Chain A
Amino acid sequence: MKNRIDMNNDQKIQVHEGAAGTHEVLHTGNGHGNGHGHHEHKQSFVSKYIFSQDHKTIAKQFLITGIIWAVIGALFSVLFRLQLGYPEESFPILETFFGNWAKGGRIEPEFYYALITMHGTILVFFVLTAGLSGTFANLLIPFQVGARDMASPFMNMLSYWFFFLAGVVMMTSLFVQTGPASGGWTMYPPLSALGQANLGSKLGTDLWITAMALFVISSLLGGLNYIATILNMRTKGMSMTRLPLTIWGLFFTAILGVLSFPVLLSGFILLLFDRHLGTSFYLSDIYTAGQALPNEGGSPVLYQHLFWFLGHPEVYIIILPAMGMVSEILSVNSRKPIFGYMAMVGSLFAITILAFLVWAHHMFVSGMNPFIGSVFVLLTLLIAIPSAIKVFNWITTIWRGNVRFTPAMLYAIGFVSMFISGGLTGIWLGNSTIDIHLHDTYFVVAHFHIVMGVSAFFGMFAGVYHWYPKMFGRYLNNTLGYIHFWVTLVGSYLIFWPMHYMGMAGVPRRYLDFTIWKSFNQFNDLNKMISVVTIVVFAVNLMFVFNFFYSMFKGRKLRTQNPWNANTLEWTTPINPGHGNWEGEIPEVHRWPYDYGKDGRDFIPQTEPVGSNESKH
């Protein structure tokens, strides 16, 4: 008991030290006048832009790194869509770039499998985990809870640099002779454990595991920091029930990550042991490459349990920050409070709990006991209830609002649409009876791309368009934003909607050529159409990337502190906030963040004290 108290004290002291540190920075900033970023010439270039401990800079680092990875990951999908859309054609340009991997301009099977594996890994982890929650947790948590920086700015910096290092290792794996990992992003052993069974399972997989281990460290350092900051560093008056839903989303995300990533890491470590130390955690009764292996008694299904214990929470790690941001953006642009704030928090909480109890629905046909499967059917379909509550509440938030279609708002509406479409097919797949037929078919591809790929991207885009002015003091170009949105929305539906039909026909995932099949070759025209749309959507998203970097330097400048007339605290900071965010005292909070359209007033910022004759709700 005494030990525990001591520990708590230690923690408190650390937090205070952190806070004091940031105060100091602030004071030096003040000493130079109005405290705008460029006045802080105490900091060298390296400490300001590279090894920065400022949460805003770290957020930008995460975002820009994420964008680079997104372009690479999406480019991979364009390459394998070329193969799927035009299996008979050869593209000499591919041989120019990829040499032996695309002999005669045709993608080799090993190359195809490397592409889909890296596409999945990059987008799930590097873009939609680090790029999405890394960016917005760093940017918004200190801003919206009213803190000068994270609880531990140094740990925060480490979090980015571990992510960067993970990226370097993953990038290296693309250039080794035997190719990068190619066993699918889930990296199931024995395929991923046996170099003799799969070229990509040689050095490529070691690098893949190393990169992922570094990535797990990064997300643990980040996650602990986010939780500590939200719990300990809220400004005066900012009770938990006055937090914007963005913060709630990021808070639950961090909890999910902290509790589930270590399990993934342990799974990977056992895989490394099996690969190099002769252990048999996952290996048993294997005869490969003309040789019986000595391993007996292991179970490949064990790996699947360990993997999906993270793997499923992972999809909520991806989607919860997007949900939080979308809630905030819908409310701001409808000029209406978010409908059912407590229900929104409650459903986030319910999703977080259930996220840990549904992992085995990925394994209905893995050889797992059918009785266990049935328990997971029940728990999985339960998740539809909080999800439904969220959707209905979002729609009611728009109802009788006064809706402004900023690009961010359009993306938020697109998010809800995508989440509905993808969420409903989850009810199909979560039911083990239907999953028998649809498992590992294009139906699954359609489902998870819509519900966590496209949706999460829409949430991320909404966030970028909405908070870009806060990040860079300039606006993104609106017209490019609108074109970006409409083409991406229509394109995403065109790409993924018909895939449901392919899945119902039983077309398996991860096939690069259907010519020998009698049951699966009826979709050639469809595949062509999907590939063409993919290329168009990719091009339009490159245009977004251009818009992003161009507007950083040439975008329309922000002239007001609060461009969207929003209530939350980040809009009370200067247009270009320095390290420490607020020039004077941190503002005090007197109300929840969603007083829009109350008592005939368009908006009432959180910092405004509650008036004596104000109506209650």
Chain B
Amino acid sequence: MSSIWIIIAFLLGFLIVFQIAKASEYVSILKGEERARNESNRINGFLLLAFLIVGLFGVWYCNHTLQDKILGEPASDHGERIDRMLYITLAITFIVFVITQVALFWFAFKYQEKEGRKAYFFPHNNKLELIWTVIPAITLTVLVGFGLYYWYEITGEAPPNAQLVEVTGSQYKWEFRYPGADGKLGKKYYREINPLKNNSLGQVWSDPDNRDDIVASQEVHVVVNKPVKFVIYAKDVIHDVGLAHFRMKMDAVPGLPTTMWFTPKYTTREMKQKNGDDFEYEISCDQICGKGHFSMRGVVIVESQAEYDAFLSKQKAQYAIAMEAENGNPAVPSPSGDSTQTKSTSISAVTTK
């Protein structure tokens, strides 16, 4: 019902505006084109200036109301680099923004048509143009320099002591695999995927590296102040591991494993103390992946090494779970003789290193 009233209100408003517009057109014809133009010029000139002033105030006000709701403290070492780069860029672009917007609206206001004013014939000035080619070029060189320096640090090889975790996205959930005591992720092949047989990631059971791999879903545990390396897979369509607090992001692509590493700086508990009990490090899917895209949520739990070890020791290897479910006793997996199996070995050998 209310929507109908709103539509009626809009229609009425429109009718009134239209009548005024029609009337003002007649008035301008009566007054003569010249005078009508002078009048509308004065009004619009004033409005341009007013827009500039109110607009700049609005920029301040927007920043004032929203600044506490945005960035927050970066929770990883890479996050600090990214924020630093962001603030450098903000400073430079904001200066340019203010100068150009003020010049644009102020000149428009100041040089509005007036009787007796003659436009200044000024077709070009090479010196001026050279100046405003060279200055942006230098500024951008600086930004590119900083940007690439950080970019290589962030996307470079992970430190050798990094904790390895595999992340797999599929329509609308996250799964994680820890390498277990051997520190190696076992081979997997997508045709082995079979959730009914407790093999949701397609682990190849004939690979001994798989025996101690632990699989979990929705929550991933990582250790504070220790680099963590995610190897990222997708089962069905493209997803994206988005970690807003760590400022990290990487697509999960079917058939193309990707990686990301960073060092978390604060445990979840520390962040809860700072930001309230409601805090959680969330994983958001940042690449449209179907109707449940907006609800594809995961959680990162950052904890101390001791807590992490305690957590891990309580988990059961997926191999054990699968074999127990199969026939009560851990079976010896069939020797890999068929063609698919050999193929899988070569693929995953490349990807999990």
By a beta-carbon cutoff of 8 Å, the part of chain A in contact with chain B is 91, 93, 108-110, 113, 182-184, 188, 190-191, 194, 197-199, 283-288, 290, 292, 296-301, 334-343, 365-367, 370, 373-374, 377-378, 381-382, 384-385, 388-389, 391-396, 398-405, 410, 413, 416-417, 420-421, 424-425, 427-428, 431-434, 436-437, 439-441, 477-480, 482-483, 486, 489-490, 493, 497-498, 501-502, 504-506, 508-514, 516-520, 522-523, 526, 539, 543, 546, 556, 594, 596-600, 617
Q: Are A431 and B107 in contact (CB under 8 A)?
A: no
Residue interface bits B121-151, CB-to-A below 8 A is 1, else 0: 1111100110011001100100110111011
With A508-B286, A516-B297 already in contact, the answer to whether A433 and B147 are too (CB < 8 A) is yes
Of B25, B37, B240, B247, the residue contacting A477 (CB under 8 A) is B25
Please report the C-alpha to C-alpha distance between residue A184 and residue B124 in the assembled complex, in whole angstroms: 45
B171: Cβ under 8 A from any A Cβ: yes
Contact A439 B93 (CB under 8 A): no
In this complex, how many residues of chain B approach chain A with their Cβ under 8 Å: the count is: 124
For the complex, what is the distance from the CA of A404 to the CA of B41, rounded to whole Å? 6
Interface residues of B in 152-171 (CB under 8 A from A): 152, 154-155, 170-171
B242 within 8 A of A: yes
Instruction: Establish whether residues B59 and A404, one from each chain, have CB atoms under 8 Å apart when the complex forms.
Output: no
Q: In the docked arrangement, what's the CA distance between A417 and B143, Å?
A: 23
- Chain B residues whose C-beta falls within 8 Å of the C-beta of A367 in the assembled complex: 250-251, 253, 256, 258
Partner of A417 from B18, B22, B105 at Cβ < 8 Å:
B105
Asked if B133 and A440 sit within 8 Å, CB to CB, the answer is: no
Are A413 and B254 CB-contacts (below 8 A) given A404-B37, A508-B284?
Answer: no
Residue of A nearest to B136 (CB): A388
A191/B288 in contact, CB under 8 A: yes
Contact A399–B111 (Cβ < 8 Å): yes
Report the Cα distance A338→B113, complex, angstroms: 17
B314 at the interface (CB under 8 A from A): no
Q: Does chain A have a CB within 8 A of B101?
A: yes
Scoring B18, B154, B237, B292 by chain A CB atoms within 10 A of each residue's CB, the highest score goes to B237
Residues on B with C-beta less than 8 A from A493 are: 55, 58
Is B152 a contact partner of A374 (Cβ separation < 8 A)? yes
| 17 A-B contacts (beta carbon < 8 Å) | A93-B4, A285-B190, A286-B235, A286-B254, A292-B190, A365-B240, A377-B151, A395-B103, A403-B45, A403-B113, A413-B104, A427-B140, A478-B28, A497-B58, A505-B70, A505-B71, A597-B120
In the bound complex, do residue B238 and residue A403 qualify as a contact, i.e. CB atoms below 8 Å apart? no
Tell me if B209 is interfacial: C-beta within 8 Å of chain A: no
* Residues on the A chain within 8 Å of B93, using CB: 424-425, 427-428
In the complex, the chain A residue whose C-beta lies closest to that of B137 is A385
**Are B286 and A400 closer than 8 Å at their CB atoms?**
no
Is A506 a contact partner of B288 (Cβ separation < 8 A)? no
Q: Which residues of B contact A424 (CB under 8 A)?
A: 93, 96-97
* Cα-based distance from A600 to B21 in the complex (angstroms): 36
Tell whether B336 is near chain A: CB-to-CB under 8 Å.
no
Interface segment out of the listed B79-87, B179-187, B219-227, B325-333? B79-87
- Give the CA-CA distance A374 to B140 in the complex, in Å: 14
Residue numbers of B with Cβ under 8 A of A are 3-4, 10, 14, 17-18, 20-22, 24-25, 28-29, 37, 40-41, 43-45, 47-48, 51, 55, 58-59, 62-63, 66-67, 69-72, 78-79, 81-82, 85-86, 89-90, 92-93, 96-97, 100-101, 103-105, 107-108, 111-114, 117-125, 128-129, 132-133, 136-137, 140, 143-144, 146-148, 150-152, 154-155, 170-171, 190-191, 193, 195, 202, 235-238, 240, 242, 244-245, 247-251, 253-256, 258, 278-280, 282, 284-295, 297
Given A336-B122, A477-B21, check contact A436 B249 (CB 8 Å).
yes
B121 touches A337 (CB 8 A): yes
Contact indicator A287/B190 (Cβ below 8 Å): yes
Tell me which of A370, A384, A440, A480 contacts B242 (CB under 8 A). A440
Cα–Cα distance between A421 and B97 once the two chains are bound (Å) = 7
Given contacts A413-B48, A420-B100, contact A501 B62 (CB under 8 A): yes
Given A299-B255, A440-B242, A506-B247, 16 extra CB contacts under 8 A: A292-B190, A292-B191, A297-B255, A336-B122, A381-B147, A399-B103, A400-B111, A401-B111, A403-B108, A420-B101, A424-B93, A433-B148, A440-B240, A502-B70, A543-B17, A594-B123
**Do B107 and A437 have beta carbons less than 8 Å apart?**
no
Interface centre among B24, B78, B242 (most CB of A within 10 A): B242
* B284 contact set on A, CB distance < 8 A: 506, 508, 517, 519-520
